[in-house]
Amino acid sequence: MAALITVADLLARPGFGNVDESQAEAVIDDASALVADVAAPVVLTAQTLPKSIVPVLVSMVGRGLHNPRGLQSEQLGDYGWQGGGTAAGLYLTREETRIVRRAVGKLGVGTVTLEGDLPLPPGVPGPLGYEDRFLESL
């Protein structure tokens, strides 16, 4: 799988000025693979990538480069804080997954044609005929 964004795309954004380029390339490749998996069966390339997916990739790569272990707390002398509930490693948040799915037109809504297991009574042409006879009997 080819990377969907380049290191140059990443370096053009704030917060990535002192990033090791070889590590950035590896994390970009991993993030691109995860985004492509969410977008499947739509095939994404750097040329066909919707613009709304670029910030998702940048956020993912930022998490992967700046906080790869998913640390959630800090203690400096008497001062301390702790966050909770986020995953470690490279991942898409729920909202990022929705952004990718929406950008590729994979909205998750579809239709299914259902068939009944039981046959219709004799002389009934179909569901509308059955409903009409039921209403007449009332």
In-domain check, residue 118: no
Residue 51 pLDDT > 80, yes or no?
A: yes
User: Rounded distance, CA 100 to CA 116, Å?
Assistant: 36
In-domain check, residue 1: no
pTM for the model stands at: 0.69
Residue-number span of the structural domain to which 13 is assigned: 7-70+87-103
Dmax of the chain from CA atoms?
A: 85
How does pLDDT run across 77-97, given as a tens digit for each residue? 888 877 665 566 788 999 999
Task: Name the DSSP letter for residue 4.
Answer: S
- Structural domains in the chain (count): 1
Least confident of 30-44, 51-65, 71-85: 71-85
4 Cα distance to chain centroid: 15
How does pLDDT run across 11-40, given as a tens digit for each residue? 999 989 889 999 999 999 999 999 999 999
**The pLDDT of residue 128:** 53
User: Rounded distance, CA 6 to CA 45, Å?
Assistant: 12
